[in-house]
Amino acid sequence: MPKFMWTIVVFSLVSWGVVATLVCKSAPDSYLNIATFLVALYAALDSTLCIPFYLIYRKRFINFTDQKVLFRMSSKWPAFISFGVVGMLFLKAFHLINLLNAGLFTLLYIGIFFQIKGRK
């Protein structure tokens, strides 16, 4: 594993520690606490999912020499998945989940999918 991946692993562990601390020590009584939790959850999910996606891309593109570029190529899908999870939790946390908002968020999510799918 390249050296820069250890930075991602450490960042992932720290992010999950922050999420655990926020869950245990702060109540979801203000918008600031909820937004802080959602940002920390996004960082934790994204950094955690980057590791298996990088390993899949490394196995798929064996002859690729620049590992940092390969990591950047593989990091778009974890960001997409994390955005979907945290976006739906955002709607749920702020009591905005209804048929209209869920449909609009789904359309946004599908639009982002087609934008990401077309890039290499």
- The model's pTM: 0.89
Three-state SS sequence of 4-52 = HHHHHHHHHHHHHHHHHHHHHHCCCCCHHHHHHHHHHHHHHHHHHHHHH
CA–CA dist 13, 37 (Å, integer): 15
Tell me which residue range forms the domain holding 91. 3-118
The tens digit of pLDDT for each residue in 75-98 reads 999 999 999 999 999 999 999 999
Q: HSE of 2 in the Cβ direction (CA atoms, 13 Å)?
A: 14
Does the pLDDT at position 18 exceed 90? yes
Number of structural domains in the chain: 1
CA–CA dist 44, 19 (Å, integer): 8
Q: If we measure between CA atoms, which residue out of 17, 114, 89, 5 comes closest to residue 50?
A: 5
Place of tokens 């940002």: 39
The tens digit of pLDDT for each residue in 52-65 reads 999 898 898 888 77
Residue 70 is encoded by which pair of tokens?
């390969």
